[in-house]
Amino acid sequence: MTAKPAAFGASDKLTFLLSLVPFLMDHDRVSVTAVADHFGVSPQRVRDAVNLIAMSGVPGETRQYLHGDLFDIQWDEFEANDNIVLTHLVAIDDSPRFSAREAAALIAGLQYLSALPENGDRDAIATLMAKLTRSSTGAPSQLAVSRTDAYVTISVIQAAVRAGTQVEFDYLNSRGTAEHRCVDPLRIESVDNAWYLRGWCHLREAMRTFRLDRMSELRSTDVPADAHDDGVLLPDTLFEGSADDLTVTIELPAAALELLADYGPVPVGVGAAGQLSRAQLRVSHFHGLKRLVAGLAGVVTVVDPGQARQTVADWAAAGAARYDEPPAEHGGSAERTSA
C-alpha cells in the first residue's frame, strides 16, 4: 500500500509540451541535450515533444490545419544537428500558471524547508509563497506544515557533511543499548518529523541509519571522513527485514491495520472472537514490539508467540506498578524500576 511516485502520464506530457514552447521561444537555437538537462528529462522525450509540437497547431480559418496554422522549426537543423530552432509560433507564447494543487504542494514543501537551518530566511520564503499564490489558477488548497524541532542537531551534522568531517555521539539503539559512535555523515534524511542521519559507522564498519532523537552528546570532530559512494536512500519501510526476524501474530480491528503500515503487517485471517482481524508482523526482537503494542492500548493484542505476549504484559505491568505506591521523591537516582 506504499504510494510510489506517479508514472509520467498524458497530463505530464501535456504540461511538458506547454512548457517547452515558451522555453524554445526564448532560445533562438538550443541543443536537444541542453533542453533535456534543463528539464531533467531524457533527450528522446525532448525529440518526441519537438516532433509533436512542430506538427501541431490550430484548425485555422479553413479548419484544415494549413501550414501557416502550425508551429514550425528548422527541420534540417533538428534532424542533422539535433538542434531546435523554432521558426513559427501558434496560440501560446508564455508559461502556463500553476494549478491550485501544484502551488499547494510547493508551498507546503517550502513551509517544511523553512524549519531547516539553511533555509531559515522566513521573509524570503514568505515572498516566494506569495508569488506562487499569485501564479496559480485559483487559490492554492489549504495544505500547511508546522516547524520541526531538530534544528540544532541538523545544523551540526549539516556543517560536518559540508566540511567532510566525522561526527561522534552516544547512540541508544532500539534494544536500549547505548554505544559511542563515530560516523562519516553522508546525508540527513527526514520523514515528516523524524530525522535520520545516513552515514558510515566506524564501529560497525557499515552503512547505518541513525535517528537524530536517539543521539546524545553530538559533536563534530576534525577527523576527515572517508570517501564513500553516495546515493543511498532510506528504505520505504523504516524496518528492513533480516533472516533472523521473529514472526509475531497480532489481533486488531481490520481498519486499524493502517496504523501499523510502517511495519508491513500481513493479514492472516479472522481472530478467535470473529470481529477482529489477525495479522503477522516481523520484528527483530520483542523490545521494539512491547513499546509498539503498549502505545496502542485497546487496539492491538499480541496472540502468539507466548514469549512475546509475556514480554508485552511484563512491560505494561511494570509501567502500571509505578503508580501503585507514591513515588520516591522524584530525584531520579533513588528511583529504580525492575529492569
We find the least distance from the C-beta atom of residue 304 to other proteins, in angstroms, to be 9
Q: Which is nearer to other proteins, 243 or 317 (CB)?
A: 317
In one-letter notation, the amino acid at residue 282 is R
Q: Which is nearer to other proteins, 243 or 255 (CB)?
A: 255
SS3 277: strand
217: Cα within 13 Å, side-chain hemisphere? 10
We find the least distance from the C-beta atom of residue 307 to other proteins, in angstroms, to be 11
Q: Which of 174, 196, 172 is nearest to 289 (CA)?
A: 174
Q: Which is nearer to other proteins, 186 or 201 (CB)?
A: 186
CA distance 305 to 249: 7
Describe the crossing of helices 306-321 and 286-294 by its angle, rounded to 10 degrees: 60
Q: Which is nearer to other proteins, 177 or 243 (CB)?
A: 177
We find the least distance from the C-beta atom of residue 146 to other proteins, in angstroms, to be 5
We find the least distance from the C-beta atom of residue 204 to other proteins, in angstroms, to be 19
Q: Which is nearer to other proteins, 4 or 242 (CB)?
A: 4
We find the least distance from the C-beta atom of residue 174 to other proteins, in angstroms, to be 8
CA distance 328 to 339: 17
We find the least distance from the C-beta atom of residue 206 to other proteins, in angstroms, to be 19
Residue with cell string 524547508: 113
We find the least distance from the C-beta atom of residue 33 to other proteins, in angstroms, to be 15
Residue with cell string 537524530: 212
Q: Alpha helices, DSSP H only, in 219-305?
A: 286-294
Q: Which is nearer to other proteins, 146 or 243 (CB)?
A: 146
In one-letter notation, the amino acid at residue 227 is A
In one-letter notation, the amino acid at residue 230 is D
Contacts of 214 (CB under 8 A, 6+ apart): 171, 172, 173
Q: Tell me the three cell numbers of residue 321.
A: 506498578
Residue 118 DSSP code = G
Q: How far is CA 247 from the centre of its chain?
A: 28
Q: Which is nearer to other proteins, 84 or 103 (CB)?
A: 103
Q: Tell me the three cell numbers of residue 82.
A: 539535433
